[in-house]
Amino acid sequence: MALCVLPHSKFGNNYHSHTSPVPQHTRRKSAVTVRMTASSGGGGLASYEEGELDRPNWTGQTPLSRLVGALIAFKPLYSVLKLGARQVLISTAEKTNVPWREMTKEILESDVYKEMESVQNASVVYPDYYLSPFHAYDEGNLSWLAAAEAEAATMSMVRRAIPDASSLEEANEIVRGNWLNAIEQHHQQYSGNLKIRDILDIGCSVGVSTRFLADKFPDTKLTGLDLSPYFLAVAKYKEKASPQRSNSFQWIHANGECTGLDSQSFDIVSISYVLHECPARATINLAKESFRLLRPGGTLVITDNSPKSKKLQQLSPVLFTLMKSTEPFLDEYYLLDLEKTVKDAGFVNVQTILTDPRHRTLTATVPY
C-alpha cells in the first residue's frame, strides 16, 4: 500500500494562501454558447450558455460577496439562513416529484445500520475542514440524516439543472449522460487504447455516481471511496438492494487526498460534485493523489458547478445567500484555477466543457 503525508496546517477558509491572485470579475467580450450532443433520445444539440463573467459576482472579495459573508457570520441570522436553506431544498425537491421525506424515512427505518461495521475504518483521521457544518447539517456528512437524504438531494440537484425536463429520468439523461459521454470520448481519444478495467469514484457519497459509472462501463470493477462511513453504509445497503450488475463493487472509508491505495491501479478516477465542498488545498491534494493512482493513459474526470455558468451567475440574492450559508468553501472553489491545478499535478490533455447549464466537466490524461 502506498503512503502519503499531508501537511499539518489546518485547511482554513482563507483562499488567499491557496490560490494565485486573480481578477475578481473578468468580463469576457461576449457570452459563449457551448454545444454538446444531448444524451436524451431526441438526438439534437443542447445549447448551454456561459455568462459574461469568469465567475459569479457573489463569490470572492467583491462587495456583494463580503456583504453575504458578513450576514452569514452573524450567528442568529446564520441559524435562520441554515433552516431556510434546508426548507428550500426539501420543498423544491418535492415540487419536482422527488419524494425527499419518503426516501429519507425509508432509509432511516431500514437495516442500513448493520452495514456500518463492515465499511467503517476506525483509523481514519478526519481533516479539519470535513468537520465543519455544511449542507445545513451541524455534523456535516457525519450523520445518518445526511446520509439518508443524500440521494434525494442529488435527484433535486439534477432537476434544478434541467428545470424543463419532463421527468427525473430525462434530466439524468442530460446531466449524467453528457458527463459519462465526456469521459468515454476523452478516454477513447487520449488513452492510447488503455482498457477500462478499474474505476475509482472519490467522494462517492451514497454511490449514485458510482452506479451510473457501473452502468456505463459494465465490465469494470468499481471502487467507491468516501470520508463518511454513514454515506458508505447507505451505498453498500443500496448496492445489495438493487438489481445485480455485472460489475463488482468495493466501498472504502478513506481520505481522498491520501487514499493509501496502490499507485497506478486505476484507469479512470472520477470526482463528482465534491470540490465545491473542499478548501483549495484539499483540491490540490486530490489532483495529485488522482495522478498517482491512475495508470499511464488513465483519465481523470471532475464534474461540479461551473463558475462560467450563466444560470449560476444569475442566481437571485436569496438563493445565492442561502447556498453560501451551507457551503463554507464556495469562495475558494470559485477562485481556484482548476485547469491549472490539474496541469500542475502532471496531467495533460486538460479539457473543460459545460455538460449542462450549471455544471462543467473537466477531463485530463496521465501521460505515458
Q: Would you state the pLDDT for residue 48? A: 87
Distance CA 113, CA 237 (A): 9
6 with 258: CB under 8 angstroms?
yes
Give the cell for residue 221: 470493477
**Residue bearing cell 441554515:** 82
Distance CA 306, CA 53 (A): 11
The model's pLDDT over 314-326, given as tens digits with 9 standing for 90+, comes to 998 888 888 888 8
Q: Would you state the pLDDT for residue 134? A: 84
366 DSSP 8-state letter: -
* pLDDT(50) > 60: yes
The model's pLDDT over 159-215, given as tens digits with 9 standing for 90+, comes to 999 999 999 999 999 999 999 999 999 999 999 999 999 999 999 999 999 999 999
The model's pLDDT over 336-368, given as tens digits with 9 standing for 90+, comes to 999 999 999 999 999 999 999 999 999 999 999
> Across residues 15-36, what is the average pLDDT?
42
Chain CA centroid to CA 366, Å:
21
Give the Cβ contact number of residue 262 at 10 Å.
Answer: 11
The model's pLDDT over 222-234, given as tens digits with 9 standing for 90+, comes to 999 999 999 999 9
Averaged pLDDT of the chain:
88
Percent of the chain at pLDDT exceeding 70: 87
Hey, which of 26-30, 160-164, 300-304 has the most confident mean pLDDT?
300-304
Q: Would you state the pLDDT for residue 175? A: 97
Q: Would you state the pLDDT for residue 15? A: 32
Give the cell for residue 353: 466543457
C-alpha distances in Å from residue 338, one per residue of 22, 224, 247, 302, 307: 13, 23, 31, 10, 11
Q: Provide CB contacts within 8 A for 8, sequence distance 6+.
A: none
Q: Grade residue 246 by pLDDT with cuts at 50, 70 and 90.
A: confident
218 with 306: CB under 8 angstroms?
no
Q: Would you state the pLDDT for residue 1? A: 54
The model's pLDDT over 71-129, given as tens digits with 9 standing for 90+, comes to 888 888 888 888 888 888 899 899 999 999 999 999 999 999 999 999 999 999 999 99
| 365 Ramachandran zone, left/alpha/beta (phi>0; psi -120 to 50) | beta
* pLDDT(44) > 50: no
Q: Report pTM.
A: 0.88
The secondary structure of 72-93, three-state, reads HHCHHHHHHHHHHHHHHHHHHH
